[in-house]
Amino acid sequence: MRIGLIGAGAVAPFHVRAAAALAGAELTAVCDIDESAARRAADLSPGAGVFTDHRRMLEADVVDAVIVNTPHALHLPISVEAAEAGKHVLVEKPMATSVADCDRIAEACERAGVSLTVGHIQHFLPDKTAAHGLIASGELGAVQLIRDNRSTDYRPGTRSPWFFSREVAGGGALFNIGAHCLDRSLWFGGAPAAEISASVASRFGSPVETDGVLRLRLENGVGVAIAVVSDPPTRSDSLTVVCEGGVVEADPRTGTTVRIDGRTRVLHEPTDHDIQTGFTAQLSDFLQVVDGGPPAVPLDHARHVVELILASYRSAQTGVASVLGAVPA
């Protein structure tokens, strides 16, 4: 599979190294409107062509698939154009900036007969897969509650300027970082959300929210509390899953543990290459989907994440919980 990476910013090296690690993949092109960024990423993959316009890359017949790794509002047009050019698409999270745009991407890929997956990395990170594996084994019984505490840094200047444009990013810390929390909470909770309520804060003079708290009730009754906080004294990325028979904690820095009846057991010790392992597993999943396998992250799930972030904004604005309908198949 000849892969083209479109958007060569902060996350690009993980995608490039993922392609290098997989026998069935080869990164043959990198495209960025910033040529120096494209060159930097291409240098990690000797022989990869450099483009500054994704349309030229699609026309050049040098790729079979693309990774769309651009600002969020560009996920839609670039994914659709890639599909129309007959290329399989792995689009970074969040899938798009509206539910309608998620549907447009899915429809374009279906129409073109190409595969589509969404890069919800949480499903592939070793600390999370260890936790999910234990829960899926049934040893702990049913999931009852989930707490997700995630710090970030949304002070302007800490990341690319587009992250602070509602039009381009779709929103702020919740759209970007909250997407990870919603993704993993829904995955561990095992059902779509029935209801979501939210409060947000916009600090540091930011035009988008920098902090937010979310409360969800899933269709199966599981309760979820998510907090995304910018620049706190103590950094956190901690997912706690309360099950009938024990509590699981997953954190990329401290690893994964389970506490059952007063005893703690280690499920995963963190390593320096856990994040890369996740990106490689994610690309491997994409290759497998192209080969006709089922995706680790169903498209409805990725669409629901976007739906929930937008519902959380409505709730934060109106002060009432957003009640969601059943997620269409």
Ligand X SMILES: NC(=O)c1ccc[n+]([C@@H]2O[C@H](COP(=O)([O-])OP(=O)(O)OC[C@H]3O[C@@H](n4cnc5c(N)ncnc54)[C@H](O)[C@@H]3O)[C@@H](O)[C@H]2O)c1
Q: Determine if 100 is a binding residue for ligand X (CB under 6 A).
A: no
Smallest distance from the beta carbon of 1 to ligand X, in angstroms?
A: 20
Of 18, 22, 63, 69, the one binding ligand X (CB under 6 A) is: 69
Cβ contacts of 41 within 8 Å, gap of 6 or more = 5, 8, 12, 13, 16, 30, 32, 48
CB-CB neighbours of 99 under 10 Å: 16
- Exposed/middle/buried for residue 207 (C-beta within 10 Å: 0-12, 13-18, 19+): exposed
Q: Minimal distance in Å, beta carbon 146 to ligand X?
A: 20
Question: What are the angstrom distances between the C-alpha of 155 and each of 84, 97, 158, 317?
Answer: 38, 22, 6, 22
The answer to whether residue 60 forms part of the interface with ligand X (CB under 6 A) is: no
Residue in 11, 196, 258, 283 binding ligand X, rule: CB under 6 A? 11
Residues of this chain, 28-57, that bind ligand X according to CB under 6 A: 31-34, 37, 54
Q: Which stretch binds ligand X (CB under 6 A): 17-25, 71-79, 109-117, 204-212?
A: 71-79
Asked if 117 touches ligand X (CB under 6 A), the answer is no
> What is the rounded (10 degree) CA torsion for 310, 316, 322, 328?
10
Q: What angle do CA 128, 236, 162 make, to 5 degrees?
A: 90
Bridge partner list, 91: 68, 118
Q: Which of 9, 13, 156, 270 binds ligand X (CB under 6 A)?
A: 9
Per CB under 6 A, 151 contacts ligand X = no
Binding site for ligand X (CB under 6 A): 6-11, 31-34, 37, 54, 69-72, 74, 92-93, 119, 121, 160, 176
